Copies of this chain bind each other. A is one copy, B any other.
Amino acid sequence: MANIKHLGEFGLIERFRSQLKTRSPRVIKGIGDDCAVFSSKQDTLQLISTDALVESVHFDLKTISAEQLGRKALTVNISDIAAMGGTPYLAVISLGLPQSTSTRFLDEFYSGLQSVCKDYKIELAGGDTVASPQQLFINISILGEARKDRVFTRTGARPGNQIFVTGTLADSAMGLQLLKTRKIKSVSSKHCRALIQKHLEPIPRIKESTLLAKSKLQVTSMIDLSDGLVQDLSHLCGNDKLGAELYEAKLPFSQALKNVCQQKEYDPTDWVLQGGEDYELLFTIRQEDVKKLNSLFLKADAPVSHIGEITSFPGKLVLNKINGRKKFLKASTGFNHFKRSQRS
C-alpha cells in the first residue's frame, strides 16, 4: 500500500490542499504559503485554542477509524471555542506521521476533518506535516470570534449562581471503558454502541453556546467538560475560592449509561461525576435567570439540566444524594496526563 514516504512533504501538501475545498471569503491565502492570511471581523474579540492528541495516550488506532479521528481532533477544539461563547472560523493543523502511515489513512483522516469543517463552516487554512519516529500526533489550533460583551470565561461565578450542564454525562467515559475491555470497533448491544459512539464521535455544543451568546442572559462562567464534572466544576469555583452543591437527582444520565451500569453493577453517579471527554458545556447563571434559561433551551429543543448551585464555602464540593445524605467530592480525582495513560 502507498505510504507517505513515497509522497514526500510537497506531495502531501498538494494532496491535503486538493482535498480541503472549503473556501471562506475572509481567507485571502490558505494552504501553501508561509502563513495563512485572513481578515478578522470588526467589533469582535478573537479566541484561540490549541490541542494536541497523541497516539496511545489520547487515542488508539485499533479502536478509532481514521475518519473518526479526523472528526474528533477538530471537534475537541471546536468545543473550546464553544466553551467561551464563540464561533469557530479557522484552524491550522500539524501532523506528526510515522513513516508507515498509509495514504489511505490520511485520505480518510482528511475526509473526517473536511466533514467537520463543512458542518461548522471552518476553513482549514494551513498546517505542517512532519515525521514522527513512533507515535502519530495531531495538533490543531483553532480561531473563533465572539461579540465583545459576550465572551464567557471560567471565572465569574458567584455564590448563589445556579449550575447547568448540557446533554448527558459519562457516556464517553463508559464508551471508552467498553472499547478498552473489548478492543474491537463494533459491539453488539445497542446501548454499548451508543456509548462508544459518544466517545469516538463527540458533538461540540456550538448550537447551545450560540444560543447563550445570542441571548441576553448573564452567563457568569462557562467551561467545556473534558476532565470530568467534579474536576471542571472546581475550575468554575476558582479552584478553591468557592464551593458548590450538586443534586444527585438532577444529574443527567442517558438510558444507555443506566442500562450498562445496571448490567455491570457500577454506580452511575460515580461515572457522571468523574466522566471525562464529555465535551458538554458546564455553566453558571444568576438565580433570577433560571426560568428564562429553561424556556430558551426548551424552545430550541436543546438538552440542559439544572444540577446545582455555587456556594461561598471555599473548595467544598458537596453532592446531595437521593437518599438524603451529603457526600464531599474531591476535585483531585481528575485525569493527570503524566501519571499514566488512563484514557486508552
Interface residues of A (CB under 8 A from B): 4-5, 7-9, 12, 28-29, 32-40, 42, 45-54, 56-58, 80-81, 83-84, 86, 90, 92-97, 99, 125-135, 137, 139, 141, 143-144, 146, 151, 153-155, 223-224, 335-339, 341
Contact = CB atoms under 8 A, between A and B. Distances in A.
Contact of A47 (B37, B47, B99): B37
A341 B39 contact: no
Given A57-B131, A94-B52, A134-B134, A86 B337 contact: no
B99 A224 contact: no
Count of this chain's copies in the oligomeric assembly: 2
A125 B50 CA distance: 10
Nearest to A226: B34
Given A56-B133, A58-B130, A130-B57, A93 B36 contact: no
6 contacts: A34-B49, A37-B46, A37-B151, A42-B42, A53-B130, A135-B135
Contacts of A135: 132-135
Given A7-B338, A126-B48, A131-B341, A35 B83 contact: yes
Nearest to A4: B338
Contact of A154 (B33, B129, B154): B33
Nearest to A88: B35
- Point out which of A4, A97, A139, A339 has the most chain B C-beta atoms below 10 A from its C-beta: A139
B8 A336 contact: yes
Given A84-B33, A92-B48, A154-B33, A130 B337 contact: yes
Name, among A37, A95, A154, the residue most crowded by chain B CB atoms within 10 Å (CB to CB): A37
B153 A33 contact: yes
Given A337-B129, A338-B8, A339-B8, A47 B54 contact: no
B50 A94 contact: yes
A131 B5 contact: no
Nearest to A231: B10
B54 A132 contact: yes
Contact of A92 (B49, B153, B339): B49
A97 B338 contact: yes
Residue among A28, A99, A153, A338 with max Cβ neighbours from chain B (10 Å): A338
Nearest to A145: B40
Contacts of A336: 8-9
B48 A125 contact: yes
A127 B51 CA distance: 7
Contacts of A52: 94-96, 128, 130, 137, 139
Contacts of A95: 52
Nearest to A92: B50
Contact of A131 (B34, B47, B54): B54
A51 B137 contact: no
A99 B8 CA distance: 31
Nearest to A48: B36
Contacts of A36: 47-49
